[in-house]
Amino acid sequence: AGDDYLIGEDGHDTLVGGPGDDHWAGGTGDDTYVFYRGDGSTSRTGDLIVEQSNEGANTLVFADLDPDDVRSALDGARWVFTVLDETGAASEYLAVKVIRAPDGHDVAATMATVTFADGTIWDAAQGLFLHLGPEDTESAGTAMNDTLLGSAGDNRLAGMDGDDSMDGGEGIDVLYGWNGNDTLTDSGTEGGDLLYGEAGNDTLTGGDGWDSLYGGNDDDTLFASRDGDALWGGNGDDSLRGSGNGADDMKGGKGDDRVIGGGNDDTLSGGDGDDFLSGGGGGDVLDGGAGRDTYFGGAGADVFQIRLDELDGDQVRDFDASEGDMVQILGLSDPAQVSLAIGSDSVTLTDTLTGEVAELRISGAQETDFVMILG
């Protein structure tokens, strides 16, 4: 018991609080936050999880609570969970705050999954759509092919079954495609919208402001717009394209994805599968993840992030040290763990601890172009 600070570091951490007003920060990586009844605060901001919007896809676990025991709502840049007592009255609170979140919808870019004791799992879009406050406008489609248009206010639109078309318009909107091959568009200028395709081959397009786009299952196409968006492909072979304005954060997820940056300093992640990553203009960070990945940095000083245990015939097609390009070798306990052998068009990396040998297809690189990152 007491007011505790729980701080994680790089990697996938599990943080378990307790009674009192606790502050939790998992840091970089896919972290898990475990909450029990009685761990919350009587203040809406006393028990607080703090994350950066691009530090990972995290999970909140309500270990001894069911969905009927919890309500959630947006409060500025916080997603506030209210735990109900046996009479249905509010008894305690837990809040999630995301840095670089002009409004609460960006929480979905970080707290991707909420799980409960009865096995129920919310993805972020379900939690936001099903449990926002009643002051917002709601509209749900049918099993047919529907067209749903939002008002000038804050809207929640759900297409349900069928191939639906939705436009949130102005305001801070949540669009949920559900089943079918849906088209979700944010034509507003305010920003902070959440577009979630779910099942089907969906097309999602952000608007002005910092929006969050999630493809869900199947093969989706996601387009960023202005001011820097968060794009997550999810499952399936997805296509993600950044804008020419803001710095976009794009994650392909599972499947063989195409992740294309725009004209700014973008962050591109392929995830599992054989992915194609192209940075475009600006100084981009490209991380293919597991699988046999292909990288094009484009113009600017780009960083190609490689994990030795995920290297599987990856290729960097346009490495240019004169532009400031650099390769980072991640996930090491000691820089001496890896030895490099530079060839004319490839680099052989040897794990000196295990003897494992991996090859990165690359031309024009020198040993000074590689940076070893611990952890």
Predicted model pTM: 0.69
pLDDT given for residue 85 in this prediction: 92
Can you say whether the dihedral through the CA atoms of 214, 220, 225, 231 is positive or negative? Answer: positive
pLDDT at 314: 93
pLDDT value for 125: 58
Q: Is residue 243 part of a domain?
A: no
pLDDT at residue 261 greater than cutoff 70: yes
- Asked if 268 and 241 count as a contact pair (C-beta separation under 8 A), the reply is no
Task: For residues 94 and 40, give the distance between their C-alpha atoms in angstroms, rounded to a whole number.
Answer: 6
Residue 262: how many CB atoms within 10 A of its CB?
A: 25
209 touches 224 (CB < 8 A): no
Q: Residues 244-254: what's their mean pLDDT?
A: 89
At residue 140, the pLDDT reads 61
Strand partners, 250: 231, 268
pLDDT tens figures, 229-241: 889 999 999 999 9
As for how many domains the chain has, the answer is: 1
Look at residue 81 and tell me if it is in a domain. Answer: yes
Q: How confident is the model at residue 133 (pLDDT cuts 50, 70, 90)?
A: very low
Tokens matching residue 359:
């090859």
119 — pLDDT class (breaks 50, 70, 90): very high
Q: What is the pLDDT of residues 167-198, one digit of tens each?
A: 988 888 888 888 899 999 988 877 678 888 98
Query: Quick one: average pLDDT of 359-365?
Result: 86
Residue 132 contacts residue 74 (beta carbons within 8 Å): yes
- The reply to whether 133 falls in a domain is no
DSSP state of 230: E
Residue 109 has pLDDT above 70, yes or no: no
Q: What is the mean pLDDT of the chain?
A: 84
Q: Residue 88 domain-assigned?
A: yes
How far is 94 from 82, CA to CA, in rounded Å? 7
Cβ neighbour number for residue 68 with a 10 Å cutoff? 11
Structural domain span for residue 40: 5-122
| 57/234 Cα distance (integer angstroms) | 11
Banded pLDDT at 103 (limits 50, 70, 90): very low
Asked, for residue 373, whether it belongs to a domain, the answer is no
CB < 8 Å & 24+ apart, contacts of 348-356: 349/308, 349/311, 351/308, 356/308
Of 138 and 205, the structure prediction assigns the larger pLDDT to 205
Cross-strand bridge partners of residue 349: 340, 358
Pairing of strands 285-287, 267-269: parallel
Indicate whether 350 belongs to any domain: no
Buried b (16+ CB within 10 A) or exposed e, 194-222: bbbbbbbbbbbbbbbbbbbbbbbbbbbbb
Read off the pLDDT of residues 341-359 as tens digits, 9 standing for 90 and up.
Answer: 888 888 888 888 888 888 8
Q: Is the pLDDT of residue 305 over 90?
A: yes
More confident residue, 138 or 66: 66
Q: With bands split at pLDDT 50, 70 and 90, how would you rate the model's confidence at 212?
A: confident
Q: Is 109 domain-assigned?
A: yes
pLDDT at 132: 45
Lowest-confidence segment of 83-87, 118-122, 244-248, 263-267 by average pLDDT: 244-248
Q: What is the dihedral of CA 98, 100, 104, 106, to 10 degrees?
A: -90
Tokens representing residue 35 in the block: 């909450």
What would the pLDDT profile of 310-330 be if each residue is shown by its tens digit? 888 899 999 998 899 999 988
**Per-residue model confidence (pLDDT) at position 258:** 98
Mean pLDDT of 23-36: 89
- Reply yes or no on whether the pLDDT at 15 is more than 50: yes
